[in-house]
Amino acid sequence: MRKSVLLLSISLLLGVKFGFAQKDISLEDIWTKGTFAAKGVAGFNSMNDGRYYCNLDERQNLLRFEFASGKLVDTLIRNADVKQANGGEAIDLSSFSWSADESKLIIATQTEYIYRHSSKSVFYIYDLTSKKLVKPVAEKVRYATLSADNSKMAFVRNNDLYYFDFRSNSEVRISKDGKENAIINGATDWVYEEEFAIWRGFAWSPNSDKIAYYRFDETKVPEYEMAVYGTLYPNQSKFKYPKAGEVNSVVNIYVFDTKSELISEMQTGSETDMYLPRMQWTTSNNTLCIQRLNRLQNKLELLLADAASGKSNVILTENNPYYVDITDNLTFLKDGKTFLLSSERDGYNHIYLFDMKGKLVKQLTKGAFDVDDVFGVDEKNKKLYFSSSEVNAAERYVYSIGLNGKDKKMLSTGKGWHSASFNNDFTFYLDVVSTINTPPVYSLLNAQGKLVRTLEDNKALLAKLKDYKINEISFSTIKNELGQDMNQFTLLPINFDATKKYPVLMYVYGGPGSQTVMNRWSGGNYFWYQMLAQKGYIIVSIDGRGTGFKGEQFKKCTYLNLGKFEIEDQLFAAKQLAKLPYVDATRMGIWGWSFGGYMAGLGISKGNDIFKSAISVAPVTNWRYYDNIYTERFMRTPAENGKNYDDNSPINHVEKIKGNYLIIHGTADDNVHFQNTVEMVDAMIKKSVKFDSEFYPNKNHGIGGSRTRLHLYDRMTNFILEKL
């Protein structure tokens, strides 16, 4: 990955795949027919003993298989038995989880999503021994979770936390003040769900006699309202959404003792304008770990709280000159004496071992690379399993390392992007590997990384691809103005001729820690780009400053200036591309979604002498409109940093737009509000700027649905063909 852009004219030709009388790709192939759908291995669930895994068959019988041989051992649950237990009425078993001892199945049905992750469902409990089915709660509730001893099931109803006691066959209400858009118990508010990726706000203690839970008081948080169309008078959806600089929920954590029925508040400090992004039980039934993050998000503290008294003490503090990323890479080991935590304290994301007083025992991983996923800890054999960007930032490989920081070993074989799912005793793992040009291969490997058997190789899809006009996407690097290497992928047109000139469409995201240049299968957009290449377009994507897995400095240099250096890198790269002999410098385009839509808006305005056309899908157009946890993490508040908010928001540069601009949004986008596009359009009208627009009624940030996606990509394709 050390080629410069000026060498691409030769090297990229090597990636072109010439074929015979092949087919054109259509939008219907991509979005409605499923022509290029890759097969997966669904429901690969490890059992507790590590010897077996279970899977639902096509009739929704739950089968048990042996890891070592792959042979069917027995049928754990017959769908017919579940149906009979339900009075002859069928139940969809596709969404299930095990009780801790695997004697019961928790089945979620009739699921209704609230936001991106949160949902409510009708829950059933099926007992494998008695073959009895119970529905503890008649209506839809949230996050039904069994205690470790199976005696109780906690859930959230109407913003209050409850549990059902199977021994007394009775329901116990823990909180009593839940109220929509005011008080939430046992769940999280919108912004915690979106930005901290936490939605279930409670956890059973190891001994099943206590429940720790969040309480959110969002009374003072400003309310956002959006219309939901489809009736004579549209309904109004209202929810609390704290925009940059606005008031947050006041968050507290409590522990309810099911024996004494006493509630203890955990001491998290007198400052309420802060975040509690994680809580989890340690290996002790009486000790809760709470993560406390200041509003600036540059100081993270680990607190250990006594479940009975609520008294807490800080055992570890992470300070960062920029910001601290919240992850799930905190693991308390079974020895009760140590824990693992990821940190960027040496400039890269690595794993550290601490004792329970927060004293560093050992830095386990080291080097000029970032650890990505932590797959688990085999405490018996004292090994940690993880993936990292050590080979290069565009790929991932699976490694093991001793808990003493020695004997690191790469387990992955085969170039590309690897991910792993280990069984419970770390004797086997499911490896999923793909490249940008080849669909995923699912394999079962042992703990040493040796192949046991291939479960799905997607050879049928690979064979099908030979019937279509497809070129390989190739990887390279291009330098920014500072001379830093930026990863790049390039797709050349079918029957590329270096003596001709071609238009270029750049795809951008660019958000903090993100990547678009990844050597892994991406599905839909990959084939859309192939379709555009069939029509004579060069497709390019570049990960500039602010993107991830090249160390903290590369990622966090955009701090307080979100958008500034990111668009400078895209514009500088576009100018370099425009110098290539086969590029038509008068036909440069850029497109992106969400943060990428924001970048495209900056591209067509700040880069008005470079880009002829741009497409912004669901863009942020003014950072003042976006939520505070995300925006303030990188920009602080508008009161502190207002000039950089304004200088780097496309809405303030509309008068610079000369080219063709298409802006697209869903009207029910609860994340990046439709307001962003409305205000941008209004600003363009006031400045007499011509533009194209498209909106999608009642669609959220993903603008989903097969027919909707088809319409969206048809709209974008026609715009590109006409305007670029």
Structure confidence by residue, pLDDT tens digits, 256-314: 999 999 999 999 999 999 999 999 999 999 999 999 999 999 999 999 999 999 999 99
Quick one: average pLDDT of 525-548? Answer: 98
Tell me how crowded residue 233 is: count the other CB atoms within 10 A of its CB: 6
Which of 304, 263, 252, 265 lies closest to 281, judged by CA?
A: 304
pLDDT at residue number 148: 95
Are the C-beta atoms of residues 174 and 155 closer than 8 Å to each other?
A: no
pLDDT at residue number 20: 52
Which of 414, 175, 196, 206 lies closest to 297, judged by CA?
A: 196
Q: In whole angstroms, what is the distance from residue 112 CA to residue 109 CA?
A: 9
- Backbone phi, psi, residue 546, to 5°: 100, -20
pLDDT at residue number 268: 98
Task: Please determine, for residue 214, whether its predicted confidence score (pLDDT) is greater than 90.
Answer: yes
pLDDT at residue number 43: 66
pLDDT at residue number 13: 43
pLDDT at residue number 116: 87
pLDDT at residue number 1: 41
CA 253 to chain centre: 26
Residue type, 396: R
Q: In whole angstroms, what is the distance from residue 408 CA to residue 698 CA?
A: 50
Task: Please determine, for residue 16, whether its predicted confidence score (pLDDT) is greater than 90.
Answer: no
Tell me how crowded residue 506 is: count the other CB atoms within 10 A of its CB: 25
Quick one: average pLDDT of 46-53? Answer: 91
Quick one: average pLDDT of 167-193? Answer: 97
pLDDT at residue number 12: 45
Q: In whole angstroms, what is the distance from residue 457 CA to residue 613 CA?
A: 40
Q: Which pLDDT band holds residue 330 (cuts at 50, 70, 90)? A: very high
| Cα–Cα distances in angstroms (integers) from residue 52 to residues 275, 425, 608, 667, in the given order | 41, 11, 60, 47
Q: Which pLDDT band holds residue 41 (cuts at 50, 70, 90)? A: confident
pLDDT at residue number 18: 44
Annotate 584-614 with b (16+ C-beta within 10 A) or e (fewer).
Answer: bbebbbbbbbbbbbbbbbbbbbbbbebbbbb
C-alpha neighbours within 13 Å on the C-beta side of residue 304: 15
**Range with lowest mean pLDDT among 52-56, 130-134, 178-182, 688-692:** 52-56
- For 451-492, give the DSSP string: EEEEEE--HHHHHHHTTB-----EEEEEE-TTS-EEEEEEEP
Q: Which pLDDT band holds residue 21 (cuts at 50, 70, 90)? A: low
Structure confidence by residue, pLDDT tens digits, 625-645: 999 999 999 999 999 999 999
Residues 6 or more apart whose Cβ sits within 8 Å of residue 98: 45, 104, 105, 106
As given in the structure block, the two tokens for residue 404 are 């003493």
Is the model's pTM score more than 0.85? Answer: yes
DSSP state of 356: T
pLDDT at residue number 2: 37
Q: In whole angstroms, what is the distance from residue 50 CA to residue 45 CA?
A: 10
Look at residue 616 and give its three-state secondary structure.
Answer: strand
Q: In whole angstroms, what is the distance from residue 200 CA to residue 577 CA?
A: 47
Structure confidence by residue, pLDDT tens digits, 562-586: 999 999 999 999 999 999 999 999 9
CA 147 to chain centre: 28
**Range with lowest mean pLDDT among 112-116, 252-256, 386-390:** 112-116
Quick one: average pLDDT of 412-434? Answer: 95
Query: Mean pLDDT of all residues in the chain?
Result: 95
Q: Which pLDDT band holds residue 22 (cuts at 50, 70, 90)? A: confident
pLDDT at residue number 149: 96
Q: Which pLDDT band holds residue 42 (cuts at 50, 70, 90)? A: confident
